[in-house]
Structure 1
Amino acid sequence: MKYPVLLLVIGLAGTVGCQSSEKPAEEAQAFMLSDTMMHRIVLDSVADEPIRNELMLVGKIVADESKVIEVFPLVGGNVEEVNAELGDYVRKGQSLALIRSGEVADFERQMIQAQADLLVAQKNLKSTQELFESKLAPEREVNSAQKEVDNAQAELNRIKEVFRIYGLGKTSSYVVKSPIDGFVIQKKINREMQLRSDHSESLFTIGQLSDVWVLANVNESDIGQVKLGMEAQIGILSYPGEVFHGKVDKVFNVLDPETKAMTVRIRLQNAGYKLKPGMHATVKLQFLEGGSMLAIPSRAIIFERSKHWVMVFHSRSNVETRPIEVYRSLGDRAYIREGLKAGERIISKNQLLIYDALND
């Protein structure tokens, strides 16, 4: 197919009838790239570059463990309310659940008793001091009364500290509160549950998801290629075509005894909370293979008739269609085993139009 709008054909010396006897290389000289086409193409130079390779890993999204807090019940009792569900965003101090507890009622009784004991001790001290001032009581009784006041005050302070730690109010209910801002990423509580005082499982797990981790497995044969700080490209099934970028920030230097694989961790920023714990991920890690090879943009390559071709630009009137042997394509770069020389210029945009015009 010819593109007369884009390519200007100028005749060489001789008649149309003699064109059939010219060589293909000479036919290429019959074409000149128009000004319009020159503005539409991009030229890239063939360059010698270090050979890069990549590992393809499978992993999953998990929350950053340093920003995850488990919420445990401090008392046993009956769950009356559950105010947060899986996936909810909660604020620090927000009520997650309400537990009616006999232990809390006992703390309240202790508070009332401690307040009463302190009041009695203070009254006794006052009376003893008055008797002492009237020479009707010895000093040791004043000291004893003062000690009772101090003991009663200490007990009241202890109970108040228990109330502060447990976040208790004036009822026999215990409010489970969120310790941080974050998402509920695990929930193990329902209404009417009976919680024992020795309940050892967390009720909620709250995680801050502004940053997440990808945990990926590396086969034993590839372990030597993985280094801290490697750039990683992450693909997520939920977002086809979108690439997330991160870095390897930890290599777990132990192997799983069953899979014989090593785990690496990649940290990702999670703008908009698009990445959810539990999502499956594909991970690309690029590394230097050793040695160098000529490289060009992958987009410059044309594949036709079971061969790879590039359009080599010599001048506006001399564009060569040249077969090449590709060693490897990696992302936007292709490494060339044969067919090109360093410094040559190739067309890497709209080259297919020129290829069709020259090879129809």
Structure 2
Amino acid sequence: MNIKSYIQAFTLFIVLASCNPKPVEEINSAFSLSDEMALQLEFKEAKLEDVKNEIRLFGKIDADNNKIAEVNSIVSGVVKSIHVGLGDYVKQGQILAVIQSSEVASFQKEKLDAMNDMAIAEKNLQVAKDLFEGKLNSEKDLILAKNELAKAKAELSRINDIHSIYKLKSGSTYNILAPFNGFIINKDITINDNIKSDRSEPLFFIADIKEIWAIANVNESDISKIKTDYDVTVSTLAFPDHPYDGKIEKIYSVIDPETRAMKIRVRIPNFDFKLKPEMNCTVNVRYKENHKMVAIPSEAVIFDKNRYWVMIYKDKFHVDTREVEVYRNLNGISYLSSGVSDGEQVIAKGGLMIYNTLND
């Protein structure tokens, strides 16, 4: 074979070699997720879940009316001093105000009279016993003396209970005390006020607000979507970055004739006392729709070229770019109409980096 024939044969070999397809192993190894890169990613399993929706309601913060005390005066008199103001935090037994009253002196006199009556009854009983032993009176007289002593003791006990309950002391002043720890949410008393015995309005309202209520209005069109124990998030204008999670505790099955709305109640822990009665709030109620969809973390969804994409992870050699159709995004969860199947793994964190690597 001459040189020309060798050259033609070598050229044909090169052409044929270039036409052979690459080995499968070489194709699959075109992209490989390194261990270092995998540490920067977060993988989540797509799950078929009930689709949730959300309603935004508006309302206000209110004190638990089971933990509000009306503070009144049991005596009439003149207000001599006030020790607290509106919004102050008070402790149980703390003096709120002092009233000068002649009635306090009458309570003291009543107690002294009862003590004196009991002392006399005790002496009379002793005399009756001595006479009975000397056969100078009847058993009936002895029984009457015992009954008189019992009545005197009961009366003194009753008066002592009154003094204990209302913390009455000697003198002409009466201290109005806080019944429990809480905040002064209403105050209707001033220095030199003449407090009358027939007054119906409380002097103070004290509320324990370690737990507080969010009361929200529900429009008629949304009433059928609301049920007790639904999860809610309460937000306030005062603390927009501090949402409060809770559940619907009570549904008031009455329509307000003015607002045409129904009210719901949510109980919220308030140990830091940030929430105050009468604050405005929004209540986001989450409820389930009557169908299921595949749900994935919203951070796994990538928006590019006017479409939504998700990175599907099979193993470090097989990461696919998958187009998806998003039905709804809610509280960090995306519900998908199509594109991902139940049980598939998606890259929830760091997916954009992989997307750019594979699709540049």
TM-score normalised by the chain length of structure 2: 0.77
Q: Please give the secondary structure, in 2, of the residue aligned with 1:324.
A: strand
| 1:217 alignment partner AA | N
Q: Please give the secondary structure, in 2, of the residue aligned with 1:202.
A: coil
298-307 vs 309-318, which moves further: 309-318
48 and 159 in structure 1: CA distance in 2 versus 1, 3 angstrom threshold: closer
**What pairs with 1:170-319 in structure 2 (closer than 5 Å)?**
170-319=170-319
In structure 2, the partner of 1:169 is 169
Aligned partners of 1:316 and 1:127: how far apart in 2?
107
Superimposed CA distance per residue, residues 78-129 of structure 1 (whole angstroms, 9 cap, x where no aligned partner): 1111122233332322211100113223434555566677778889999999
Structure 1: runs of 5 or more not aligned: 1-17, 19-26
Aligned partners of 1:103 and 1:334: how far apart in 2?
71
Aligned partners of 2:130 and 2:294: how far apart in 1?
103
- State whether residues 55 and 286 of structure 1, in contact with CA within 8 Å, keep that contact through their aligned partners in structure 2: yes
Aligned partners of 1:192 and 1:227: how far apart in 2?
52
111-120 vs 259-268, which moves further: 111-120
> What's the offset of the Cα at 1:286?
1.7
In structure 1, the partner of 2:5 is none
**What pairs with 1:30-45 in structure 2 (closer than 5 Å)?**
30-45=30-45
In structure 2, the partner of 1:336 is 336
In structure 2, the partner of 1:78 is 78
132-141 vs 66-75, which moves further: 132-141
> What's the offset of the Cα at 1:275?
2.7
In structure 2, the partner of 1:346 is 346
> What's the offset of the Cα at 1:325?
1.7
Aligned partners of 2:282 and 2:207: how far apart in 1?
23
Q: Please give the secondary structure, in 2, of the residue aligned with 1:36.
A: helix
| 1:306 alignment partner AA | N
Aligned partners of 1:311 and 1:141: how far apart in 2?
103
Structure 2: runs of 5 or more not aligned: 1-17, 19-26
Q: Please give the secondary structure, in 2, of the residue aligned with 1:294.
A: strand
The total of aligned residue pairs comes to 335
Aligned partners of 1:297 and 1:145: how far apart in 2?
86
- State whether residues 60 and 215 of structure 1, in contact with CA within 8 Å, keep that contact through their aligned partners in structure 2: yes
- State whether residues 105 and 170 of structure 2, in contact with CA within 8 Å, keep that contact through their aligned partners in structure 1: no
- State whether residues 117 and 152 of structure 2, in contact with CA within 8 Å, keep that contact through their aligned partners in structure 1: yes
Q: Please give the secondary structure, in 2, of the residue aligned with 1:33.
A: coil
55-64 vs 308-317, which moves further: 308-317
280 and 147 in structure 1: CA distance in 2 versus 1, 3 angstrom threshold: same
45 and 153 in structure 1: CA distance in 2 versus 1, 3 angstrom threshold: closer
Superimposed CA distance per residue, residues 15-63 of structure 1 (whole angstroms, 9 cap, x where no aligned partner): xxx9xxxxxxxx9985433332122112223332221112222232222
Identity %, equivalent residues: 41
355 and 109 in structure 1: CA distance in 2 versus 1, 3 angstrom threshold: same
121 and 299 in structure 1: CA distance in 2 versus 1, 3 angstrom threshold: closer
Q: Please give the secondary structure, in 2, of the residue aligned with 1:273.
A: coil
RMSD: 3.7
TM-score normalised by the chain length of structure 1: 0.77
> What's the offset of the Cα at 1:245?
2.0
